[in-house]
């Protein structure tokens, strides 16, 4: 892999970014949401790192068309919770909504990098497993993020969870969504 200093950016047309873990870091808040729900409905307190490892393992080994629903079903079964998957999804969203709207920000240097690349004429692509609902929050519902980066102006293409058939570990799902970007 070449380091950034060894890349000739003038030969590149596209810059493709993932959202969570690259531009932002919201994984921790989902761990806290799951912790609260498991504690509330199963009376079990799970280490946050263990929750994250468990979720990563689940996502790595499952390719359901709606992985979020499948993950909620998994939590219900694993912790023997008396809650429907629809209720669990609503609880997770209620738990993270304030954070996503009011506290989440881009990682350090991200707004400057995106604005610089855009000013240099790059086509900027977001390829993410993030849902449209979350993207709308980041673009319009989060004052800090929308102030720092005019989300839908910066990204020329956005490929989100709803646009792909296969999850991240199956690259053909992403390629099929892009079509031709020549």
Q: Which pLDDT score is estimated for 21?
A: 87
Q: Which pLDDT score is estimated for 175?
A: 46
Higher-pLDDT residue of 65, 98: 98
What's the mean pLDDT in 60-70? 76
- For residue 3, pLDDT over 50 is answered with yes
* pLDDT above 90 coverage of the chain, percent: 51
Q: Residue 135: pLDDT band by 50, 70, 90 thresholds?
A: very high
- For residue 179, pLDDT over 70 is answered with no
Burial of 159 (0-12, 13-18, 19+ CB in 10 A): buried
Among residues 157, 156, 151, the alpha carbon closest in space to that of 175 is found at 157
**Number of residues that this document lists for the chain:** 182
What's the mean pLDDT in 105-114? 95
The separation between the first and the last C-alpha atoms of the chain, rounded to the nearest angstrom, is 23
Q: Which pLDDT score is estimated for 65?
A: 65
- For residue 182, pLDDT over 50 is answered with no
What's the mean pLDDT in 139-158? 92
Calculate ∠ Cα 46-47-51, nearest 5°.
80
Higher-pLDDT residue of 6, 29: 29
Q: Residue 74: pLDDT band by 50, 70, 90 thresholds?
A: very high
Which residue do the tokens 């609880």 mark? 91
- For residue 5, pLDDT over 70 is answered with no
What average pLDDT does the structure give for the chain?
85
């Amino acid at each position: 892999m070449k380091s950034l200093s060894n890349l000739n950016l003038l030969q590149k047309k596209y810059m493709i970014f993932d959202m969570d873990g690259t531009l932002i870091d919201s994984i921790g808040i989902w761990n806290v949401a799951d912790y609260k729900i498991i504690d509330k409905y199963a009376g079990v307190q799970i280490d946050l790192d263990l929750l994250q490892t468990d979720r990563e393992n689940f996502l790595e080994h499952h390719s359901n068309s709606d992985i979020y629903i499948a993950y909620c079903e998994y939590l219900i079964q694993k912790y023997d919770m008396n809650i429907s998957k629809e209720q669990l999804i609503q609880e997770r969203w209620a738990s993270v909504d304030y954070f996503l709207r009011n506290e989440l920000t881009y990682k350090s240097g991200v707004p400057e990098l995106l604005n610089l690349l855009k000013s240099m004429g790059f086509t900027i692509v977001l390829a993410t497993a993030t849902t449209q609902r979350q993207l709308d929050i980041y673009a319009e519902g989060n004052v800090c993020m929308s102030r720092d980066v005019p989300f839908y102006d910066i990204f020329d293409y956005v490929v989100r969870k709803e646009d792909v058939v296969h999850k991240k570990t199956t690259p053909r799902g992403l390629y099929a969504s892009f079509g031709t970007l020549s």
